[in-house]
Structure 1
Amino acid sequence: MTDTLAPAGPFSAPERDAVYRAIKTRRDVRSQFLPDPVSDDVLRRLLTAAHHAPSVGLMQPWNFVVIRDPSVKAQVAQAFSRANEEAAAMFPAERRALYSSLKLQGIEQAPVNLLITCDRTRDGATGLGRTHAPDMDLHSTVCAVQNLWLAARAEGVGVGWVSIVTDADLRGIFGLPDHVVPVAYLCIGHVAELHTEPELQVKGWANRLPLDDLIFTDRWGQH
């Protein structure tokens, strides 16, 4: 294989601005999904973006399970409902009412659901870059999720991450082998509007932290 190099200079100003716009306006979508189908071409572009994510040792540990079957979505929605009831009871009383008022999934409303998994055997027993950091395969898979999410924003497609569901339920519904870990269950569909700020901030659950408070120099805690 011939090694080729390409210029590494900055993007043009409009290209750069588009990247930052996708980053800053990306939202976790739960209730704004339109019924319009997501075309195969658009979905393919999103999956291609995910597949071009960085992965340690070029292990590419991800797989993508595309779900359109309403009966499968219904099983996941039931699993979410069980987990969500358990989750509500974990919050203090003063937060419980607000938690229960939040819409935290769009499983059956979104035209497409997507399960992104991590195959923990993909790079063999000793993978490059995992000898001392064995969870890098999981971290690499999350990079694929982020790539897909930003590409979706550029396409005018909304994405919502459903985290309130157990691994055991996802394993059972999708027949995952033991060495495959469910990393992200996503709801995907076209949207007409997005919140200008994160929805949980709009609803009063949390606020974005000041960046300067999170930056240290040379060692922990040193601003």
Structure 2
Amino acid sequence: MQFSPEESATLLSILRWRRDVRHFRTDPVDEATLERLRATMDCAPSVGNARPWRVIRVDDLTLRERVRANFRRCNAEAAKLYTGEKHAEYLALKLAGLEVAPVQLAVFNVGNPDAGHGLGRQTLPETLRQSTAMAIHTLWLAARAENLGLGMVSILEPHDIEALLGVPAGWEFAAYLCLGHPEFMDDTPLLHRTGWQENSETEWQQR
């Protein structure tokens, strides 16, 4: 299939406007949209077609509160890394949308799945984690194309989340995702806009 210049431009626009969203409205996301988003993960590249990602939709309010408690604890520890002005800047950052995001997904990676029969991962076993990361990115872009926002919460203790959700042995916590309608649209990363860390250009070196 050949894509038009207009379609290429649309993809570039989606990429530029994909942001790590932390500010959500409380409006629910309809189930038809969620099903479309679920199906997009099937399009993600995967080493050996192993499809190592597993997703749990966390709807239970008690579980959500325990995730928030884990975040608060881990965030307080992370804040100790900074002193002075940087400490104050860190505390001012909004680093999660856990309070109001209507859809919350915990994503896990299976470390040695039967699927794929080991193809392509003998010398680079981390390609399983890379495959799961690409599935998350595929979902992220698809959500943006649906005019939704997605944010990844990385300030969580992995083993605590695995225990909290009672996942099988061999499931490794990869990401906790908040999904919903963003309060506002922005094509500039929040950390860039707040002055924490500006975007830098990717450099391609030649040999």
Deviation at 1:71, TM superposition (A): 1.5
Match of 2:147 among 146, 156, 164: 156
Are 1:66 and 2:57 counterparts?
yes
Which position in structure 1 is the counterpart of 2:90?
99
Are 1:23 and 2:15 counterparts?
yes
Q: 1:125 to 1:19 in 2, by over 3 A?
A: closer
Q: 1:124 to 1:39 in 2, by over 3 A?
A: closer
- Name the aligned partner's letter for residue 197 of structure 1: T
Query: Percent identity of the aligned residues?
Result: 37
What is the TM-score of this pair, normalised by structure 2? 0.95
- Name the aligned partner's letter for residue 157 of structure 1: L
Check conservation: 1:61, 1:137, Cα contact below 8 A.
Answer: yes
Mapping of 1:118-197 within 5 angstroms? 118-123=109-114, 127-197=118-188
C-alpha distance after superposition, 1:123-155 (max 9, x if no partner):
369610011101111100000000000000000
- Name the aligned partner's letter for residue 21 of structure 2: V
d(CA) in 2 for partners of 1:64 and 1:98?
Answer: 33
C-alpha distance after superposition, 1:159-193 (max 9, x if no partner):
01000001121112101223111111000011242
- Name the aligned partner's letter for residue 53 of structure 1: A
- Give the secondary-structure state (helix, strand or coil) at the position aligned to 2:80: helix
Deviation at 1:76, TM superposition (A): 0.3
- Name the aligned partner's letter for residue 103 of structure 1: K
Count of aligned pairs between the two proteins? 207
Deviation at 1:121, TM superposition (A): 2.5
Check conservation: 1:70, 1:108, Cα contact below 8 A.
Answer: no
Deviation at 1:69, TM superposition (A): 2.0
d(CA) in 2 for partners of 1:93 and 1:127?
Answer: 49
Deviation at 1:40, TM superposition (A): 0.9
Show structure 1 runs of 5+ residues with no match. 1-6, 219-223
d(CA) in 1 for partners of 2:83 and 2:130?
Answer: 31
Q: 1:132 to 1:75 in 2, by over 3 A?
A: same
- Name the aligned partner's letter for residue 81 of structure 2: M
C-alpha distance after superposition, 1:180-223 (max 9, x if no partner):
11111000011242223101111110111133xx22102xxxxx
Check conservation: 1:61, 1:123, Cα contact below 8 A.
Answer: no
d(CA) in 2 for partners of 1:166 and 1:29?
Answer: 21
Show structure 2 runs of 5+ residues with no match. none
d(CA) in 1 for partners of 2:25 and 2:61?
Answer: 16
CA RMSD of aligned residues (A): 1.5
- Name the aligned partner's letter for residue 118 of structure 2: G
